[in-house]
Structure 1
Amino acid sequence: MSIADDVQKELMQVRREAIELHSSDQVQEAIAKLAFAVTEAYSGKVPVFVTIMNGGMIFAAELVKRLDFPLEMDYLHASRYLGETTGGDVEWLVTPNASLAGRHVLIVDDILDVGTTLLSIIRACEAQGAASVKTCVLVDKQHDRKAEPGLKADFTALEAADHYLFGMGMDYKGFWRNAPGIYAVKEGNE
């Protein structure tokens, strides 16, 4: 058996043993509800939505197709994980191309876990002179290890218990972002 076979075997086992926390239908319903709140907040403005790659791309795509107002889309790539299951220092891989000066910025990401990366991005947008900076996440992971006490996103679709999560953009060692629901990795597989 090759290394690739071992990796695929591990990935299939993780998916098979995972606990479904939110089904695909539940995720889609939560995103649809969130779209109403985002529309209310940004209708009449021309915001720039900055998606955090790679995790935020699936959620951002699902969200923006439900919005009926003009917006600009951009992205950035900053990570504490880089394919690992535990985070390190924030690394900036790609910065947004759009000028954020005077703009209403909505940062879109898959998950608010500790929040170190998100806070770093908020500060960077503010330093560029954004008129406002708000955050929008698919999942807020519930625990008491937030980078700042009481840290919350401005817009949150779902909450999840403190497990290692994958699906809908969240990954397990770089894989399973494509899983249609939100899953918790079985303890021992983390």
Structure 2
Amino acid sequence: MGSAREQDIKHILLTEQQISDKLDELAAQIDADYADRDVLLVGVLKGAVMVMADLSRKLKHTRTSMDWMAVSSYGSGTKSSGVVRILKDLDADLTGRHVLIVEDIIDSGLTLSWLISNLRSRGVASIEVAAMLRKPDAAKVEVDVKYIGFDIPNEFVVGYGLDYAEQYRSLPYVGTLAPHVYEG
């Protein structure tokens, strides 16, 4: 590991190749399920940017368009309360649309649960979720996620869209931070 940024990584949990292979697998499943249908991919900013870009390029038989939401959930520090405020809403009308929410990571599930309810109330034809990562041990609410990349331990991870203080998002892999980063 050469760069200062890479020296901040304690352990690589998922390599760039593992992520790419899993996205191939998820794209094949999505293509089979949505073949020849129009699907609106909904990304949640900012974390889902990498997953959305890579997944959408791997879809071969699904006609897709993209839209983005930014939401803020309130709670103490890093803990989500499930109380959500929309900072940027979708531009698209969802009436009669097949919607696939694309997420980088699901931990408590509280924000995602709120988001599914909110989008479902807009008259969608269908709504499903694709998430690159899920932390089953952090779940506070049961969320039905149709497409899951990897279940990971309940640790703080960065890379591939995930940040710590807006840093590390552009790493091509997912790793855990070295303690000196957040303790110092």
Q: 1:66/1:133 Cα in 2 relative to 1: closer, same or farther (>3 Å)?
A: same
* Aligned counterpart, 1:123: 117
Shift of 1:44: 2.2
Distance (whole Å) between structure 2 residues aligned to residue 133 and residue 63 of structure 1: 17
**Which ranges of 4 or more aligned residues in structure 1 deviate by more than 6 Å?**
none
- For 1:80-117, what per-residue CA distance to the aligned partner results, in whole angstroms no more than 9, with x for missing partners? 37xx6443542211011111011110000100111111
Q: Give unmatched runs, 5+ long, in structure 1.
A: 1-11
Q: Indicate if the aligned counterparts of 2:131 and 2:145 stay in contact, CA closer than 8 A.
A: yes
Q: Give unmatched runs, 5+ long, in structure 2.
A: none
* Aligned counterpart, 2:141: 148
**Number of matched pairs:** 176
Q: Indicate if the aligned counterparts of 1:167 and 1:183 stay in contact, CA closer than 8 A.
A: yes
What SS does the aligned partner of 1:65 have?
helix
Q: 1:22/1:45 Cα in 2 relative to 1: closer, same or farther (>3 Å)?
A: same
Q: Indicate the larger mover: 64-73 or 15-24.
A: 15-24
Residue 159 in structure 1 maps to residue 148 in structure 2: no
CA RMSD in angstroms, aligned pairs only: 2.1
* Aligned counterpart, 1:3: none
Shift of 1:14: 8.0
Q: 1:137/1:170 Cα in 2 relative to 1: closer, same or farther (>3 Å)?
A: same
Q: Indicate if the aligned counterparts of 2:80 and 2:108 stay in contact, CA closer than 8 A.
A: no
Q: 1:181/1:13 Cα in 2 relative to 1: closer, same or farther (>3 Å)?
A: closer
1:138 to 132, 140, 143: 132
* Aligned counterpart, 1:79: 72
TM-score, normalising length: structure 1: 0.84
Identity across the alignment (%)? 25
Letter aligned with residue 185 of structure 1: L
Distance (whole Å) between structure 2 residues aligned to residue 118 and residue 70 of structure 1: 24
